[in-house]
Amino acid sequence: MLNCCIERKRSREMRETEPSVSKYVDANSSTDDEEFYDCTSDKVEEEDTRRKTKHALWNQPVGRLGKFENLKLIKLGDPLYIPITQDPVPKTEDQLQEDTDILLQLGSDAQGSELRAKMMSASLLSDMESFKAANPGSILEDFIRWYSPRDWIEEDGLDQWGQKMGHLSARMLIADNPWVQMWQSAKPVPANRQKRLFDDTREAEKVLHFLDSRTFAQIIEMLFPILAHAAICRLYDECEQVSPVLPSAHKSLQQAIRLVQKISRDDQITERLCGALIQQIAALELSISQANSLLYKFNPAGGCDETVYVFTEKLLNGCEVEIEDASKSNIGSRLTSMFTEAQRLANMILTEHSGGSAENNSTGNIIFPQANEREFVMRVAAVRPASYSKKSPQFLRAILSKSEFRLAGAFSEDIVYF
């Protein structure tokens, strides 16, 4: 609504500052096809006088947009012109709901019906006044033919102007018809001189006052559907980029879209649904960030590399991946250089803290960082419990760290004859 108010005000100010150029049809000029004949000057002066006195000075036609088909005014026979009218009044969902509640509260009695008709007829009265200003001497039937053609029932005969005759519909002939009363009270006023149906200044002040009286939580609640929609659009673009290595991203995105739809359709935003949506978006953003990071590290030049895609997809799925050709492969060399760079930076930091030089540091030439934990696994098939028993599998795992070590074993023996 605030953006609409700003746009309306800018348009109005631009029209006021523009030089006055005649955009309307000149009342004294004839737009009909004219035929020129040889005539005396007296006849020319008589014709000019007739045109000037056709409409009074206070009733000159203004605010014409153009001719309406080939119709003519019923009483005068002049062409029927489409008037320039005011733009319709924009309404938000809240305002429409408020108007509906007010109309329902008026009741169904005669007084309530009259008030309801007045509230709904502001735009109609403005259009009638614009029509009268553009078509001096017009009657209600002329207005109905332009504004509500369904309420004009045509007949077979032709009138004196060569157009089909007709009459108003049954609903327009009801006693105390609001349309008839409004037509009688309407004055010939062009749209640019009428009271504005939509006061953009007042409506903008209402919006600003409404926002100023809201709490921060209420502002977030109002902006939440818009922010959620923007987040979904951004995630969709990101998912398209990482779809070769993260096919599950689209499935997660569809779940987030369903949550957004459910939130936007509810009358009130619940904390539970908002929390679920935020968690869903955060998890998807984390997965996309990890995918982008791995793709850049393994393939900084970009381009389509199926080997890197397969390797990255397995890593993102939490699988252990075997690197073919070890450090000789493209991925292996990238991993080695990554660890080398990380170790070099770590050695520089250690050197700065210890005050020594990188050459004197014993870890300066180590490519991979020192292991935080070591694990040894031994598997063997041995004869147990006797030397003539069949071989059975034996397993032993040793885990060594700086502060502890752990042993875990699984042993079996031949029990067929024992």
d(CA 55, CA 58): 8
Per-residue pLDDT at 37? 34
Structure confidence by residue, pLDDT tens digits, 167-216: 888 888 887 788 888 898 888 889 888 888 888 888 888 888 888 898 88
Structure confidence by residue, pLDDT tens digits, 263-307: 887 777 788 888 888 999 999 999 899 888 888 888 877 777 777
Does residue 38 have a pLDDT over 70?
Answer: no
Contacts of 338 (CB under 8 A, 6+ apart): 297
Question: Is 277 in contact with 260 (CB distance < 8 Å)?
Answer: yes
What are the boundaries of each domain within the chain?
1-16+58-199, 214-317, 323-350, 373-411
Structure confidence by residue, pLDDT tens digits, 141-155: 999 999 988 989 888
Neighbours of 266 (CB within 10 A): 10
d(CA 365, CA 347): 10
Per-residue pLDDT band at 34 (split at 50, 70, 90): very low
Per-residue pLDDT at 396? 95
d(CA 410, CA 373): 21
Mean pLDDT of the chain: 79
Highest-confidence segment of 178-182, 259-263, 408-412: 408-412
DSSP annotation string for 108-121: SSHHHHHHHHHHH-
Residues in the chain, how many? 418
Does residue 399 have a pLDDT over 80?
Answer: yes
Residue that wins the pLDDT comparison between 25 and 148? 148
Per-residue pLDDT at 359? 46
Per-residue pLDDT at 380? 95
Per-residue pLDDT at 366? 59
**Cα Rg, the chain, nearest whole Å:** 42
Per-residue pLDDT band at 52 (split at 50, 70, 90): very low
Does residue 388 have a pLDDT over 80?
Answer: yes
Does residue 410 have a pLDDT over 90?
Answer: yes
Per-residue pLDDT at 110? 66
* Lowest mean pLDDT across 88-97, 153-162, 399-408: 88-97
Structure confidence by residue, pLDDT tens digits, 66-111: 888 888 888 888 889 999 988 888 888 777 787 777 777 777 766 6
Per-residue pLDDT at 392? 93
User: pTM for this one?
Assistant: 0.50
Question: Given its phi and psi angles, is residue 13 left (phi above 0), alpha (psi -120 to 50 degrees) or beta?
Answer: alpha
Q: What are the phi and psi torsion angles at 112 (to 5°)?
A: -65, -40
Per-residue pLDDT band at 48 (split at 50, 70, 90): very low
369 preceded by a cis bond (ω within 30 of 0): no
Question: Is 247 in contact with 229 (CB distance < 8 Å)?
Answer: no
